[in-house]
Chain A
Amino acid sequence: MAALLGWVVRGARWGGSLTAFLPNSGSIVQRALVQGLHKGQASRLLLLAIKGGTENARVSTSRRLAALLRQEKSSFVLVANGSRGLARGFQRFLFHHRYMLAPQGLWSAAILHQDLERDLGILESPAGLNAGEVLADPTGALLAAVRPWSHESGPLQRHGVWVSRDLKSALLLVEMRASGFAVGPARSAKRLIERAFRQASGGAPLYLELGGTGAVTVAANEAVARSAQILTIIDVLLVVGILLFVYRSWRPLALSLVPLVTGAAVATATVALIFPEITVTTLGFGTMLIGVAMDYPAYVLLHVRPGEPLAHAAGRVSKALLLAAAAMVIGFLTMVLSHLSGLVQLGVFAGTGLVTAALAARFLLPLMMPVGRFGRDFSVWAQAAQKLLRGTRRMRWGVVVMAVLAAGFLIQRGAGVWDNRLSALSPAPRSLMKETGRLAREFGVPGLSSLLVVVAQDHQQALRRSEALVPTLARLQAQHSISAYELAAQYLPSVATQMRRKAALPRQAALLRQLRQAAAGLPFHKTAFRPFLQAVAEARHSPPVRLRDAPAAVRAKVGALLMTMSGKSIAFVHLTGVTDPSRIARAIARAHVKGTHFVVVKTAVGHLLTRYRRALLYRSLEAAVLMVLVIAVGLGSIAQAVRLCVPMGAAILTTCAVLVAWGPGLTLLNVVALLLIAGLGMGYALFLGDNGLIAEPQASAPWVCAATTITGFGVMAFSSVALLQSVGLTVSIGAFLALIFTASWSSEGSHRAQRERYVGS
């Protein structure tokens, strides 16, 4: 199995997105939010910090690293290690369209006079030589047009490169082409950067810290993969140990592996065929779930009487086996029908794997070992199991009491039952998240804590509506409720605004008059203002700047802030340094701009997850009902089915109560894990009691299976990755309770007769 795992890990294409946990349904604002998070610029930024060594070493390494990374044009859109001037062509664009791109103040003779005096000061200074072009722009419109592009909130600069506030790191910003949530590109970006850093730093004792969405995604994946690998190995050793202890021989153990390997192979192949990538969730949980497939051969093997052909034993248990497998598959069907891409794949993987394993146990195993020639007689276990069963039966009514207590506890907790933090679902190490947050603040990268989503019929309307918010935003900034805001209209104003600005420019005659008045008493040549007059005349008559005519830099910025979805246009307004969300919400509401939504990301995502979870719960209940029906049909009796399902329900309620009492609450993953327990529990129940399915049932099988499952998932409960830990805990507790509770409700029937038969022989 280790070999299989090794091949699978190396060969298959691993990928996966944490946003696989964010469903693609919901209101347009919610969907826009998910898309924006997924594809927005913030998700593509990688934040680099060079630490250690001397300042000179850091600075020169920063320069070399930036130069190296700029060569990787296919991976990176932007590599910045300092605020350079804007590209010449871009400056020309801004200069040429300055009167349309930036808001203009009022032009009166008095104000122009002030501007001209200032310009005169420049011309009369030692720096005045060849500075005549200041007169082409006396009102400083270029400055206003450049302002959105200047990194005013950026990091400190020393020797031409960005440094942290404590001067101990050199900082770089890299923008990837692909989303930082996609593991494949994020991982290759990380490798590229690390290799370039090794080259750039030479032998200097420097080290590189990498933050940002891409880095978090890679770390999360690696954490899960690493944990899964270690846990699988420990799991394998423990389970092998247990089975050896039970079987006292290698042959049954070897046989047990056959259905597992077959199941894993078929599952991987199926997933590889249907999906483009195998996700981390499938890797982390899939192998564990398939460990459950070890139960099926145990069910067959432990029912073999000495000298009996395997085929007979297999035939005896086949109905129960297939019913148990059916119960589990119904559980996984719930996952497949969900909207979460991560779960869908897991459902397909586990479902196909388990069905294959069950069929292999039923049909393949007998082919591999026709006659059960085991060294040991398993009756020893049968007797031990009987003792245990009798013991648990005494607790029968205690189970009901526990269930009622658990239900009461959960009802009293109400909504507090659920853990709504997105971080509970993310396997990324906490230290990395903190580091990323710190770096983001140094860079002044807009946080993702809250933003405005503006919905409109088309792009121009979206731009106009977001522009209408600017006075409110400016006020909020002045009040320090936000430190900065960013919208597409800053980089490319709406056509309406540009036309308004054009119309506000004075006609030639009027401007000439104002200039003459303003220049009175100042030693300017008559011809000195020709470039200015020309520029204004041109601006009055040229068409507005449209996105398709704008330079690449503008298109890139606007592309990140303006998108289309379901035939509507969505504009984002990024907010930085949000200190008072409620005040912002009120101010935005008072602004009465149609289509504006103030979104606090955590809350919005929480709502999404809650909606989703509710849907998943309903579907799980449907699945539960379906399971009961299937069992009832299989057993041919509703009463028997109820006898099986009551303790199962009790086990699930009690597990939930324990988890809620112990930790921060239940998450989506716990719900998934509970589906798994339901399936497992049904399996135990079918094999525990004498319910007429199996001729000469062997009660030991469920106990052995539970032992291996609890060990396997119990090991997972020790993982350092929160989500693996949560699932491991849920399943191990749940499996244990399922076993004990179903045992206590199992029917006694002919067990007594069986015991006597064994004692006698």
Chain B
Amino acid sequence: MARPWTVPTLLKTLSHTTNHKVRFIETNHIASLNRPVHMHGTMKYIPPDTLVMTQSGAHKGVYRIVGDRLFVNDAARGVPVRHYPAVMAIVSGFEGLLSGNYALLAHDFSTRLEGRPEAWRLTLKPRLASLKKALIEVIIDGRGGTLIHIQTRAPNGDFSDMHILP
């Protein structure tokens, strides 16, 4: 008998993923700019609450998120992540899922899961008013226990398209 395909089940599946380091290619479409921004690099999740995003190419940089603070390029002082809702989206999308912490995810976002375990789509919409001002939704596509695609849309028209490579 197949298990019901719910968000908690999805999280459990993902938390069994051993590969916590992935490569990504991201394209950001920013309303103020007349050309898209291309980024690529690696993302590494270190349980329970650390995420390290290393960008190579034209826009080099290392972004380390520990708990609720963002450290840019080995800065000594961290900035609260709530100052950068875009970063919160990545954190929730990536870290939130991999940590398997449903309570935390459900606290910050309303969730909608579509599809089957083999090909699913999770849509996250922020609950907090402050986050709603900066994010409309985060859409995550995956296959089984692997993340494939993360899209983020912002109220001012900006949107981000991140592909996660095997």
Contact = CB atoms under 8 A, between A and B. Distances in A.
Contacts of B28: 124, 128-129
Nearest to B35: A523
A622 B65 CA distance: 79
A525 B86 contact: no
Interface in B80-105: 84-87, 89-90
Given A123-B37, A523-B35, A128 B30 contact: yes
B39 interface: yes
Interface in A38-81: none
Given A124-B59, A126-B55, A132 B31 contact: yes
B156 A130 contact: yes
A412 interface: no
B120 to A, nearest CB: 24
A129 B34 contact: no
Interface string A116-160: 000011011111111110010000000000000000000000000
A128 B34 contact: no
B115 interface: no
Interface of B: 26, 28, 30-35, 37, 39, 53, 55, 59, 61, 63, 70, 84-87, 89-90, 134-135, 152, 154-156, 158-160
A143 to B, nearest CB: 14
Q: Which 5 A-B pairs rank lowest in CB-CB distance, beginning with the nearest?
A: A129-B86, A130-B154, A528-B32, A127-B84, A124-B37
B39 A525 contact: no
Contacts of A135: 32
A523 B158 CA distance: 15
B156 A128 contact: no
Contacts of A523: 33-35
B128 to A, nearest CB: 14
A156 B81 CA distance: 20
A130 B85 contact: yes
A397 interface: no
A127 B53 CA distance: 12
A524 interface: yes
Contact of B33 (A121, A123, A126, A130): A123
Nearest to B26: A126
A758 B158 CA distance: 117
Contact of A132 (B26, B53, B156): B156
B90 A132 contact: no
A127 B83 CA distance: 9
A126 B85 CA distance: 10
Nearest to A531: B32
Contacts, number: 73
Contacts of A525: 31-34
B158 A130 contact: yes
Contact of B154 (A125, A129, A524): A129
Interface in A670-702: none
A262 B143 CA distance: 98
A160 to B, nearest CB: 9
Given A128-B28, A129-B134, A130-B154, 20 more contacts: A120-B33, A124-B28, A124-B37, A124-B59, A125-B63, A126-B87, A126-B90, A127-B70, A128-B37, A129-B86, A129-B160, A130-B86, A130-B155, A130-B156, A132-B30, A135-B32, A524-B32, A524-B33, A525-B34, A528-B32
A126 B37 CA distance: 10
Interface in A553-601: none
A523 B32 CA distance: 9
A117 to B, nearest CB: 13
A125 B33 CA distance: 13
Nearest to B130: A88
6 contacts: A126-B26, A126-B55, A126-B86, A129-B159, A129-B160, A528-B32
A528 B33 contact: yes
A667 B164 CA distance: 82
Contacts of A524: 32-34
Contacts of B39: 124, 126
Given A124-B59, A125-B59, A125-B61, A130 B135 contact: yes
Which of A126, A131, A528 lies at the interface centre, i.e. has the most chain B CB atoms within 10 A of its CB? Answer: A126
B34 to A, nearest CB: 5
A466 B35 CA distance: 49
Contacts of B86: 126-131
A295 to B, nearest CB: 72
A71 to B, nearest CB: 24
A123 B32 contact: yes
Contacts of B35: 523
A130 B158 CA distance: 6
A525 B63 CA distance: 27
Nearest to B58: A124
